[in-house]
Structure 1
Amino acid sequence: MAVDRLAVDRPRQEQRTPVRDDLVERLDASVRERVRREGVDPQREALVVRRIAEDVVRDHDQLSLTGAVAPIADDEAMVGELLARVSGFGPLQPFLDDPEVEEVWINSPERVFIARRGRHELTNLRLDAAQVDELVERMLKSSGRRLDISTPFVDAMLPEGHRLHVVLEGITRGFTAVNIRKFLLRAHRLSDLVALGSLTPQAAAFLEASVRAGMNILVAGGTQAGKTTMLNCLAAAVPGGERVVSAEEVFELRFNHPDWVAMQTRQAGLEQTGAIVLRDLVKEALRMRPSRILVGEVRAAECLDLLLALNSGLPGMCTLHANSAREALVKMCTLPLLAGDNSQ
């Protein structure tokens, strides 16, 4: 795939200078001091942090009238930067806020990429190893998941619903690799896919009728093909009188249903115990009186448990990486072999 060099949009940002960097650092320290003094949780109370940042910038602006300090060229831009530093994810926040950016990944601190409209772009953002480590720690803080030598990679969900994947240095060569896949839900129902041109009206009507009839549905495709979006739209067609139970590695499904229980996996603790894998969740879902079961993505031994559930009269839907419908069915027949000996 072609790679474009991205020039970061500077009209909305002030040029970086040593004087401005020093000003930002001083204002950042003032905001953090007030956040600590008021006992504010920066990630859970972003609106309070914004109020504090606005107060700090306003106070600085008043002081600049006396000539004691340099004025700020753009107060709103400064508030946004302070909010990103304290409550957001620092230099990555503009990319996360940009609705056109689909994915952000860090190959090394000096090479930060984004995906926009399906094309890879190398940004001119340059970090250092300490900044990457601090960003990863802040991202994982809200997820309840951890990253260390015993667990060198992790999947987690950011507060905005974006999916985070991190591989620790040692598994990767010389740096910590970070990938943030933004969940841009542009379609909520099958009719939305028709409006976007992704489905014909006839195909949407057929799929909705299949869901209402309780047919088992397997959504197959490659990475970033829209499998989760399609599954969301299909799930939105489930009749309101049915009870839906879903199982995912990380919460990604988002649809409105009056009787829906969502579950996600859990990694092992420090003692390497307490892990909850997707296979456990599929088994547990069967004990929750479901009318329909959804599995976010089938990729391993959980396929056996899902097939057993679907062949017991319980309708379900799932996603699967495959190149075609035929290969998806072949894969569904092969994956149960990964379950190994199930005599227990």
Structure 2
Amino acid sequence: MSIADARSRAPGHRAVPTGAPVAAAPAAVVDALDARVREVVRAQGVDPQRDVAAVRRIAEDAAREHDDLSMTGAVAKLVDPVAVVAEVVARVAGFGPLQPLLDDPSVEEIWINDPSRVFVARNGRHELTNLMLTQAQVADLVERMLKTSGRRLDVSSPFVDAMLPDGHRLHVVLEGITRGFTAVNIRKFVLKAAGLNDLVELRSMTPQAAAFLTAAVRAGLNVLVAGGTQAGKTTMLNCLAAAIPGGDRVVSAEEVFELRFPHPDWVAMQTRQAGLEGTGEVPLRALVKEALRMRPSRVIVGEVRSEECLDLLLALNSGLPGMCTLHANSAREALVKMCTLPLLAGENVSAKFVVPTVAASVDIVVHLGIDAGGVRRVNEIVGVPGRVENDVIEVEPLFVRQSGELRRTHGMPPRIEAFERTGIDVHGILQAG
């Protein structure tokens, strides 16, 4: 299939160039250098995934030897040795044709629908690239990516979530579950914000909203971050966690390690899939329970999806401050979902218990979204005063986005005494400006 055909099959998406051209050297020359570098890597016992610098040094030496040999006329001279070295390093130590996309800071996500349809996301927008792979290349890339994570993909386990060495998240669905071809998705870890002030600079929220959320975290309020896919929930959770006082002990539980924030006393845990014998699985619910045995001052759950929500609620209701993320279309829908997920834990769990528990456990809900230009925004921040009327949890809007701006409303946050104990004048913060 030609590139033009690939473009025509994806109307509305523009094709974009990827990677540095290696047309300066014939494929046979690059293949020969690739084989030579792999031979030296094996002979020296270099781990290409962990020591990329050593692989690059070996590739540069091989390129120089090739150029020296070209003076005799035995081989053709390399017109662009830098591009050739980059290609060989990507093949041996990186992830081949995908490496330029992984190295591109503007690319947020990469996904492969089939070998001729490789897409990327930039600034929240989807683009079809002109990268054309083969089925063997994709299979080899997936195998190499999973090798670094220690996770497996086979007929008995056709889905996998894994973390790449650079912190990018890999998700693969095996052919048979998907129609026609194995689906590959790589969500890159792009650090654009390390704190709430960084989100202000990115115009995701106002300085007043950032000051309030910082105060809420310091005061130990329980925060629920909600939004759709790619709305920036994990980034927001990282920024909130960065505001946790250094004297607190933090324990986090995630499906795959994604949280990254500076803290001197932090234990991070991730789930584990079952082994070949069908044993050894460690689900997220087990991690939440385990976290409570580790003397935490704060507990963070990367994302609640199922019955682990019940264990988190029980922890928050016992006075342990915590935070988590959740997929939802609004702050109110996030609370409704928090009331629904614990029911999956068992038939003996009833809504009469869950609804008031959610109302008493969740203090702040931050809802995120993506605007028409692909920019991630804080759409609303609401307080949960703990009141329930006709099985509906009441909320107090604190900040609401109107006419494109996040504006302060007249609502007041819950647990004012928690701010006072910490020495925070929350009234002054909310009245500022």
- TM-score, shorter chain, exceeding 0.5: yes
Contact 1:267–1:276 (Cα < 8 Å) also in 2: yes
Instruction: Write out aligned runs for 1:115-130 (5 A).
Output: 115-130=121-136
DSSP 3-state at the match of 2:108: strand
Partner of 1:287: 293
Report the Cα distance in structure 2 between the residues aligned to 1:342 and 1:164, rounded to whole angstroms.
36
Report the Cα distance in structure 1 between the residues aligned to 2:128 and 2:215, rounded to whole angstroms.
44
Report the Cα distance in structure 2 between the residues aligned to 1:173 and 1:222, rounded to whole angstroms.
25
Q: How much does 1:144 deviate? A: 0.7
Q: How much does 1:9 deviate? A: 4.8
Report the Cα distance in structure 2 between the residues aligned to 1:140 and 1:48, rounded to whole angstroms.
22
DSSP 3-state at the match of 2:143: helix
Range that drifts further, 113-122 or 86-95: 113-122
- Give, as a single letter, the amino acid of the residue that structure 2 aligns with 1:80: A
Report the Cα distance in structure 2 between the residues aligned to 1:3 and 1:243, rounded to whole angstroms.
48
Partner of 2:142: 136
Taking structure 1 as reference, are residues 215 and 7 closer, same or farther at Cα in structure 2, changes over 3 Å only?
A: closer
Contact 2:288–2:308 (Cα < 8 Å) also in 1: yes
Q: Does 1:4 align with 2:10?
A: no
Q: How much does 1:2 deviate? A: 7.2
Show CA shifts across 1:232-289 (max 9, x none). Answer: 0000000000000000000000000000000000000001111000000000000000
Q: Does 1:332 align with 2:338?
A: yes
Partner of 1:188: 194
DSSP 3-state at the match of 1:4: coil
Unaligned runs of 5+ in 2: 1-9, 350-433
Partner of 1:110: 116
DSSP 3-state at the match of 1:293: strand
Question: What TM-score comes out, normalization by structure 2 length?
Answer: 0.77
Taking structure 1 as reference, are residues 2 and 223 closer, same or farther at Cα in structure 2, changes over 3 Å only?
A: farther
Range that drifts further, 105-114 or 117-126: 117-126
Q: Does 1:101 align with 2:128?
A: no
Contact 1:2–1:119 (Cα < 8 Å) also in 2: no
DSSP 3-state at the match of 2:138: helix
Report the Cα distance in structure 2 between the residues aligned to 1:51 and 1:342, rounded to whole angstroms.
62
Report the Cα distance in structure 1 between the residues aligned to 2:265 and 2:208, rounded to whole angstroms.
28
Partner of 2:166: 160
Q: Does 1:172 align with 2:178?
A: yes
DSSP 3-state at the match of 1:101: coil
Q: Does 1:208 align with 2:232?
A: no
Show CA shifts across 1:205-237 (max 9, x none). Answer: 100000010000000001110100000000000
Q: How much does 1:3 deviate? A: 3.6
Select the structure of larger CA radius of gyration.
2
Report the Cα distance in structure 1 between the residues aligned to 2:90 and 2:111, rounded to whole angstroms.
18
Taking structure 1 as reference, are residues 269 and 9 closer, same or farther at Cα in structure 2, changes over 3 Å only?
A: closer
DSSP 3-state at the match of 1:77: helix
Contact 1:3–1:122 (Cα < 8 Å) also in 2: no
- Give, as a single letter, the amino acid of the residue that structure 2 aligns with 1:15: A
Instruction: Write out aligned runs for 1:1-344 (5 A).
Output: 3-9=12-18, 12-15=20-23, 20-341=26-347
- Give, as a single letter, the amino acid of the residue that structure 2 aligns with 1:61: D
Contact 2:115–2:132 (Cα < 8 Å) also in 1: yes
Percent of aligned positions with the same letter in both sequences? 75
Range that drifts further, 300-309 or 120-129: 120-129
Report the Cα distance in structure 1 between the residues aligned to 2:11 and 2:306, rounded to whole angstroms.
32
Report the Cα distance in structure 2 between the residues aligned to 1:2 and 1:53, rounded to whole angstroms.
40
Q: How much does 1:14 deviate? A: 3.2
Report the Cα distance in structure 2 between the residues aligned to 1:9 and 1:110, rounded to whole angstroms.
14
Partner of 2:405: none
Q: How much does 1:180 deviate? A: 0.3
Paired residue total: 340
Pairwise CA RMSD: 1.5
Unaligned runs of 5+ in 1: none
Contact 2:18–2:101 (Cα < 8 Å) also in 1: no
